[in-house]
C-alpha cells in the first residue's frame, strides 16, 4: 500500500497457530512501535530486525537468524505488513516459526485490521530503485528497474496445465490488487510432500493451510480461490521477501520463476550496490507527479 505517513498498529495482537515446516504450535505477539523503529522480531529476548542481513535459509520459506535464534517462515507476515503499510512493529515469537494460518496473508491482515492501524507522525520512507538490477539462476531471473509506479510481477512457467505459463502483477494503487494477492495460499505438488517431509519440512502442512496439486487436479475440496492462485501467491512471497530491504521498495520488479533464494539475492544485491535511495513519501510523490490514491 502507498502511504504518506509511517504506520504501526493500535494495540497488541496475539496470533496462534502451527508452523508449516516444524508442525509445532507457535504464537506471535505484534506490539505497537513508534516512528522509525522498523519491523523487529524478538525471540528469547534477542531482537532480530526484519532485514536481509539476518536472512539465512531459503528452503521453501525464508528464515531469519541472529545469535543462534531462528525464526522460520517470515515471508507471509512480512507481506501482510507491507500490504497494510505498516513500517513499525515488534513481533515477539514464542516458538520457532510464524504460524502458517490458512497459508496466505489474509488472516494476518484481518487481525491487523481488527486491532486497528495507527498513522504515525513521521513521513514514510521508501527505498527508491535508482538503477536496473538483474539476478539470475540458470533460466530463472529477477529484473528490477526504476519506475514511477510500484509494480511487482511474477511470471510462472510450469510444464503442466493447472499453473502453466502465467503472469500476475501487483500494483498498490489498484485496490483490487491488494486482496487478490493477500488471499492467495501457498501450494505444493503431492509428489513434493514426501520429499519435503523427508527433509524435515512441511510437517504442519495440510489442506487447511496449503493448496495441494495432484497433476492437474486440486486436492482441496473447495478448490482454488483464483484460477491463478499459485502465481498470485508467488507475488505475495516476492512482496514479503523484498520487504527484507528494511523499507518498502519503489520499483518495477519482474520475477521469472524466482523463489525465496533468488528474492533474497536480489535484495542483497540492491543493498551491496547501493542501488536505492531512501526518500520521504513527499519526495517520491513530487518526483513522480503522483497526486492521488495515497492513503494517509
Q: Catalytic amino acids?
A: 260
Contact 144, 133 (CB under 8 A): yes
Question: Which set of grid coordinates corresponds to residue 278?
Answer: 531512501
CB of 236 to Zn ion, least distance (A): 6
Q: How far apart are the first and last CA of the chain?
A: 10
CB of 271 to Zn ion, least distance (A): 22
Contact 38, 247 (CB under 8 A): no
Instruction: Kindly tell me which of 42 and 184 has the beta carbon lying closer to Zn ion.
Output: 184
**What secondary structure letter does DSSP report for 146?**
-
How far apart, in whole angstroms, are the C-alpha atoms of residue 52 and residue 83?
Answer: 19
Residue 182's nearest CA partner among 275, 43, 80 is: 80
At 76, give phi and psi (nearest 5°): -75, -35
Q: Which residues bind to Zn ion, rule: CB under 5 A?
A: 186, 237
Contact 95, 43 (CB under 8 A): no
Q: Helix 229-242 to helix 75-83 angle, to the nearest 10 degrees?
A: 80
Amino acid at each position: 500500500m502507498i502511504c504518506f505517513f509511517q504506520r504501526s498498529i493500535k494495540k497488541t495482537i496475539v496470533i496462534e497457530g502451527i508452523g508449516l515446516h516444524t508442525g509445532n504450535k507457535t504464537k506471535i505477539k505484534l506490539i505497537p512501535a513508534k516512528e522509525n523503529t522498523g519491523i523487529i522480531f524478538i525471540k528469547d529476548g534477542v531482537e532480530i530486525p526484519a532485514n536481509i542481513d539476518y536472512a539465512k535459509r531459503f528452503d521453501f520459506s525464508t528464515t531469519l537468524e541472529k545469535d543462534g535464534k531462528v525464526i522460520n517462515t517470515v515471508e507471509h507476515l512480512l507481506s501482510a505488513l507491507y500490504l497494510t503499510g505498516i513500517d513499525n512493529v515488534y513481533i515477539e515469537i514464542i516458538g520457532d516459526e510464524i504460524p502458517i494460518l490458512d497459508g496466505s496473508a489474509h488472516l494476518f491482515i484481518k487481525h491487523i485490521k481488527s486491532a486497528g492501524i495507527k498513522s504515525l507522525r513521521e513521513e514514510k520512507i521508501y527505498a527508491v530503485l535508482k538503477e536496473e538490477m538483474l539476478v539470475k539462476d540458470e533460466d530463472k531471473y529477477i529484473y528490477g528497474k526504476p519506475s514511477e509506479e510500484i509494480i511487482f510481477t511474477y511470471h510462472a512457467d510450469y510444464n503442466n496445465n493447472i499453473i502453466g505459463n502465467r503472469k500476475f502483477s501487483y500494483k498498490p494503487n489498484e485496490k483490487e490488487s491488494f486482496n487478490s494477492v493477500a488471499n492467495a495460499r501457498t501450494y505444493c505438488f503431492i509428489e513434493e510432500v514426501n520429499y519435503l517431509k523427508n527433509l524435515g519440512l512441511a510437517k504442519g502442512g495440510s489442506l487447511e493451510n496449503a493448496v495441494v496439486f495432484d497433476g492437474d487436479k486440486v486436492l482441496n475440496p473447495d478448490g482454488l480461490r483464483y484460477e491463478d492462485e499459485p502465481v498470485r501467491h508467488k507475488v505475495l512471497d516476492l512482496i514479503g521477501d523484498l520487504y527484507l530491504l528494511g523499507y518498502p521498495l519503489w520499483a518495477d520488479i519482474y520475477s521469472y520463476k524466482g523463489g525465496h533464494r533468488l528474492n533474497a539475492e536480489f535484495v542483497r544485491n540492491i543493498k551491496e550496490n547501493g542501488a536505492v535511495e531512501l526518500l520521504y513519501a513527499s519526495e517520491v510523490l513530487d518526483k513522480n507527479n503522483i497526486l492521488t490514491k495515497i492513503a494517509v
